[in-house]
Every structure is written in C-alpha cells, then in structure tokens.
Amino acid sequence: MKNVDDLIDSAAELAERGLSKGEIADELNVSRETASWLVERAGGNDTAETAASASTADIHVDWSALGRDSTRLRYAASAMADLLAKEGEEVDLTVGIEKAGAPLATAVAGQLDTDLGTYAPAKHQWEEGDIDEHGGGFSRNFAGIRDRDCYVVDDIITSGTTMRESIDAIRDQGGEPVACVVLVDKRGFDEIDGVPVYSLVDVVRVDRQE
C-alpha cells in the first residue's frame, strides 16, 4: 500500500467481506477512528463527523514484507525475544494478541521456549461507539493463563487501548504480564499500567509549526 487511496480501496474490500470496523483497523494497522473514516470515504460519504476524524493524523504501518515470509518473521521474532530476555528466564507463557500478534507470538514463544496463549480483543467486534470492555477473550485451543507470569506480544501499538485491555484480561485470570513487545509503537510507550513495553521501532511524529 502506497497511499491513502490504496487504504480506502482496501477498507472497502474488507468491509464488503463483512469485517467489522475494528477488524479493519487491525488489518490495516490504523486506529479505529481512521478505519471508520476510510470505510466512510470508500462509500462516498464525507460527513462532518468523518471529516473531523480525518483531521486527526494517523500513521499506517505495512509490515507485510515480514509477515508473508516465515524466515523474515522468525528473524523479527528473534529480535523481539531478545528484547524480552532481559526480563529473566522464569516466564513460561507468551500471549499473542489476535490476529497479527498471534504468529509473532508463536515465533517468540519458540525462541524463548514458552507455552503459547492467544487473546482476541474486544475491538474485533467494534463498529461505532464505545467498546464493551468484556468483549474480548482467550482461546481455549491454546495455553491458559492459570495464574502464570507471561509476556504479551502484538504487532502495532496505535493508542495503547488494546494492549491495556489485554493486560487487564490477563490479570483478571490471575496472571501477571511481565513485559510487552511489539514491532512498532506509534506512541512511544515505556510502560502501560506498570508493565514495561519494548518495541523494535518507535514512531515519533514531528508537527512543525510555521
């Protein structure tokens, strides 16, 4: 994807496939507000509400060059695992945030020799308005939390909402997130709710005032 028009076309295609706006945001690595704006633009609508959304800048990150190649993905996961290694060797569970965080977490878990869990965030059900904070959940097809210490893995931090939700969900299950790691952090978090956050790339936007 090279420009906004490409993103609009992709948002339209995903919407036609029945994905929620939250899932579209996840697929395109943009905020929910940006995803909503892209879908509205694809439909030829440009209301005052969507125009207001457009005025809030976002950053699109395309990491498909890593995601489509298992060797590159493994190399990236190795670097992410290296960032987590400083937290010690007692952690035996890695939790990936679905969808894109799950394959990364799988590779990270392999590097660190931990069990694997996955968490589906509430944003996947989001269309408009507030997100039901109880809408997410852990997959029973993977390892359970069971009062364990764990690492949390995702691809992108946009606002921090999904990572914060995941941390809360783990703690609700009696677990304790020791550290989080992502490919790209758009906000430059050092920690979220007391949990250290590591990233391969931090994005800092510079707004020049003339």
The answer to whether the beta carbons of residues 53 and 30 sit under 8 Å apart is no
The whole model's pTM is what? 0.79
Summary mean pLDDT of the chain = 85
Distance spanning both ends of the chain, measured CA to CA: 30
Q: Report which of residues 128 and 186 the model is more confident about.
A: 186
pLDDT band (50, 70, 90) for residue 54: very low
Q: Before 99, cis peptide (omega within 30)?
A: yes
**Closest Cα partner for 50 from 28, 29, 35, 30?**
35
Single out the residue of 173, 128, 165, 121 nearest to residue 149, CA to CA: 173
Ramachandran angles phi, psi of 24, nearest 5°:
-65, -40
Cβ neighbours of residue 164 under 8 Å, at least 6 residues apart? 192, 193
The hierarchical CATH code for the domain 64-202 is 3.40.50.2020
Is the pLDDT at 2 greater than 50? The verdict is: yes
| Beta bridge mates, 180 | 152, 197
Amino acid 124 reads: H
Q: Are 96 and 66 in contact (CB under 8 A)?
A: no
Q: Note the pLDDT tens digit of each residue in 61-118.
A: 889 999 999 999 999 999 999 999 888 778 999 999 998 999 999 999 999 999 999 9
**Cα–Cα distance between 70 and 134 in angstroms, integer?**
33
So where are the chain's domains? 4-54, 64-202
All residues at 6 or more sequence positions from 125 whose CB lies less than 8 Å from its CB, including other chains = 20, 22, 131, 132, 135
Between the alpha carbon of residue 85 and those of residues 60, 92, 119, 190, the distances in Å are: 29, 12, 22, 17
Q: 208: pLDDT confidence band, cut at 50, 70 and 90?
A: low
Tens digit of pLDDT for each residue in 23-41? Answer: 887 787 787 778 788 888 8
* Contacts with 20 (C-beta within 8 Å, 6 or more apart), sequence order: 124, 125, 126, 127
